Amino acid sequence: MAQSETRLATEDTAPAASGPANSFLWTITVLYFAASKDLAGTGQESLPLPNPVSVPEIVSQILSRHSALEAILDTAMVAVNLEYVDKEGSDGVLIKAGDEVALIPPVSGG
């Protein structure tokens, strides 16, 4: 087997691998807007994702990384792939590899 064929075969089988080294095979993108961007100190980041998780689980992971976001969480909205979701998880949405999650605080102005 040629070297390039070996590399392709390895890449094709990588997602099926298991164990601690392969616990986080995929990522999601988290977007922060307005006050959430200020509190998180970034407008965007990638989070590792071992498997599909619920919205409350992702919110918990986000808060563990950026505890200052707790100040706006009660009034913030969460969107997954451009669709608003219930941050308490009552709608049963699961976040999967490649998904985009946005934390959107209320915006006021005139």
Mean predicted lDDT score pLDDT of the chain:
82
Give the domains, in start order, of the chain with CATH numbers. Answer: 23-104 (3.10.20.30)
- pLDDT at residue 42 is higher than 90: yes
- Cα 14 from Cα 22, distance rounded (Å): 8
Task: Judge whether 87 and 78 are in contact, CB under 8 Å.
Answer: yes
Nearest residue to 52 (alpha-carbon basis) of 104, 103, 97, 105: 97
Q: What is the pLDDT of residue 107?
A: 80
Helices (H) and strands (E) in the chain, counts: 4, 7
Say how many residues make up the chain: 110
- Cα 81 from Cα 74, distance rounded (Å): 21
**Tens of pLDDT, residues 49-88:** 888 999 999 999 999 999 999 999 999 999 999 999 999 9
Q: What is the pLDDT of residue 25?
A: 75
